[in-house]
Structure 1
Amino acid sequence: MATRESMENFLQQCEDTIRLAQKHYENGRKQQHFDKDGYTAALQQLETTYNDLAHLAHSANAQQREQLHRKRLQIQQLQNDMILLREEQSLNEKTF
Structure 2
Amino acid sequence: MATRQSVDDCLEQCKNALNYATDQYEEASLQEHNNVGTYNQSQLMLEEAYNDLDKLLLSANEQQREQLHRMRLQIQQMQNNMILLNQ
Q: Tell me the TM-score normalized by structure 2.
A: 0.96
Amino acid at match of 2:55: H
Partner of 1:36: 36
The CA distance in 1 between the partners of 2:32 and 2:63, in whole Å, is 42
Partner of 2:15: 15
* Percent of aligned pairs sharing the same letter: 51
User: Using a 3 Å threshold, how does the CA distance of structure 1 residues 37 and 9 change in structure 2: closer, same or farther?
Assistant: same
The CA distance in 2 between the partners of 1:17 and 1:34, in whole Å, is 20
The CA distance in 2 between the partners of 1:32 and 1:7, in whole Å, is 36
Moved more, 1-10 or 26-35: 26-35
CA-based RMSD = 0.8
Q: Structure 1: where are the runs of 5+ without partners?
A: 88-96
> Tell me, what secondary structure is at the counterpart of 1:19?
helix
Q: Deviation above 6 Å: which 4+ runs of structure 1? A: none
The CA distance in 2 between the partners of 1:33 and 1:41, in whole Å, is 13
Amino acid at match of 1:37: G
Q: Tell me the TM-score normalized by structure 1.
A: 0.87
User: Do residues 66 (structure 1) and 66 (structure 2) align?
Assistant: yes
